[in-house]
Amino acid sequence: MNKDITLSYLDTRGQIAPGELEEKIKASAGVLAAAVAGEEQYKDCLGWHNVDDWAGSERLDFLMEQASRVRADADALVVIGIGGSNQASRAAVKALRPKNGPAILWAGNTISAREMADTLSELDGYKSIYIDCIAKNFETLEPGIAFRVLRQYLEKRYGEAEAARRIFATGTPGSTLHQLCRDHGYTFLTFPGPVGGRYSIGTDVGLFPMAVAGIDIKAMVQGMRDMRDRLFTEKAEDNLALKYACLRSLLQEKGYRLEMLAFFEPRLDYFAKWFIQLFAESEGKEGKGLYPVCASNSEDLHSIGQFIQQGSPILFETFVEIRARDASVVMPKETKADYFQYLDGKDFWDINDIARKATMEAHSKGGIPCLNLSVPALDEHTLGEMFYFFLFSCYLACKLTGVNPFDQPGVEAYKGYMFKNLGKPGVN
């Protein structure tokens, strides 16, 4: 069976003229070459470029050793972080559903009192709790306040010395978070300086929580490495990421404003959240960019499906097809007349696949440009490939859009008003 990730394009109404994509790819070969070389202007943001820089075998062994200490003792790990600091590990844990590890709880991604209160009472039901606070510079409010509350919770339950043994923090060396770790004996992991939050999957940020959960991080990193090698050596005309970036760019030029990631495995719900953050924060600036959204099917076909089929023609879809069967549930025969006899003996997996194909057919015949990203399976290796594919594609897409892929100046605007009203020193 073909193990490659492939990308095809279905455009029944011919929005992209014959030869147009090939022309665009040819004209964008320089963008690919510059991204592969790593541009000088982004040299402080390209730490994720070479997977081995932060996820070489020694680092993976170290992370796995730390994770086994936690796994041997914990029945819950609370991952504190927001945005790029927690999205990738949460996407992986939710997609792969590793068994036999501690429960993974997510905190520091909201200011909701209800959520914090519920997390605290949920923790009362666990015997042995560890936490990992992930924050690049430890200036973000959500992880900052959650860390204080959860740290004190651990101290009350276990005493200061034992709590310290149970606390991990992942931050920039030299940051105030690092200082807290030094002062109080917490285990410090590295958030690399030249890697932005949303690009941090292949570092301690993404990999440590995954390892605690029981994900095979070596296979995940191998997937990232394999995709990196592929994208860095494939010629422009064959390059998977350049093809994807050029299709997005052409559709944007033709007036499409939304890209919808559509999938038929709810296990990908949090992967979609990671994808949405990656593209929204990277590309949505200077009045430009595609607004990334998602459809978790078949459920969403019964809600937004109506709009997609017949509403304003503002979106195109990127379907994710998973080729491997990973489960089987066969419709049992039934003597009671429920009128679903036409499905007797059929496997849910096949019914779902037929629904996926039918959706693509209906949407594409309805005039919606449809991309199909076909992946071999939903396992560690493929997920690693998918992460790297979207990271590198995002870099290329931003280059084609003409924006900086690595900053996010727009997210500061609301913070000014919030900090002023909260009385943060130095904010007027």
End-to-end CA distance of the chain: 62
Q: How far is the CB of 165 from ligand PA5 (least distance, A)?
A: 24
Binding range to ligand PA5, per CB under 6 A, among 56-64, 195-203, 318-326, 384-392 = 195-203
Per-position x/- string for 339-378, each x denoting binding to ligand PA5 as judged by CB under 6 A, each - no binding: ----------------------------------------
Task: Let me know: does 316 contact 368? Beta carbons within 8 Å.
Answer: yes
Measured between alpha carbons, how far is 404 from 398 in angstroms, rounded to an integer? 6
Q: Of 112 and 137, which has the nearer Cβ to ligand PA5?
A: 137
Q: How far is the CB of 144 from ligand PA5 (least distance, A)?
A: 8
Burial (0-12, 13-18, 19+ Cβ within 10 Å), 273: middle
Q: Of 82 and 224, which has the nearer Cβ to ligand PA5?
A: 82
Which of 11, 132, 204, 281 forms a contact with ligand PA5 (CB under 6 A)? 281
* DSSP-derived secondary structure for 285-350: -TT---EEEEEETTGGGGTTHHHHHHS-S-EEEEEEEE-S-----BPPP-SS--S-GGGTT-BHHH
Residue type at 303 in one-letter notation: S
Q: Of 104 and 242, which has the nearer Cβ to ligand PA5?
A: 104
Burial (0-12, 13-18, 19+ Cβ within 10 Å), 421: exposed
Per-position x/- string for 99-138, each x denoting binding to ligand PA5 as judged by CB under 6 A, each - no binding: ------------------------------------xxx-
> To which residue do tokens 């900090």 refer?
419
Look up 178 and say whether it is catalytic. Answer: no
Judged by CB under 6 A, how many residues of this single chain contact ligand PA5? 14
Look up 22 and say whether it is catalytic. Answer: no
Closest C-alpha among 8, 17, 20 to residue 371: 8
Closest C-alpha among 44, 86, 49 to residue 395: 49
Of residues 199 through 218, those in contact with ligand PA5 by CB under 6 A are: none
Q: How far is the CB of 199 from ligand PA5 (least distance, A)?
A: 7
Residue of minimal CB distance from ligand PA5? 197
84 scored as a contact of ligand PA5 (CB under 6 A):
yes
Look up 281 and say whether it is catalytic. Answer: yes
Q: Which two tokens stand for residue 415?
A: 């913070």
Measured between alpha carbons, how far is 76 from 54 in angstroms, rounded to an integer? 26
Catalytic residue among 302, 333, 336, 412: 302
298: preceding bond cis by omega (within 30 degrees): yes
Catalytic residue among 142, 281, 317, 321: 281
Q: How far is the CB of 197 from ligand PA5 (least distance, A)?
A: 2
Q: Of 135 and 368, which has the nearer Cβ to ligand PA5?
A: 135
Measured between alpha carbons, how far is 229 from 237 in angstroms, rounded to an integer? 16
Which of 47, 101, 192, 196 forms a contact with ligand PA5 (CB under 6 A)? 196
405 scored as a contact of ligand PA5 (CB under 6 A):
no
192 scored as a contact of ligand PA5 (CB under 6 A):
no
CA 334: distance to chain centroid?
A: 42
Q: How far is the CB of 203 from ligand PA5 (least distance, A)?
A: 12
Task: Let me know: does 227 contact 389? Beta carbons within 8 Å.
Answer: yes
Q: Which residues are catalytic?
A: 281, 302, 415
| Chain residues in the site for ligand PA5 (CB under 6 A) | 82-85, 135-137, 140, 143, 196-198, 281, 408
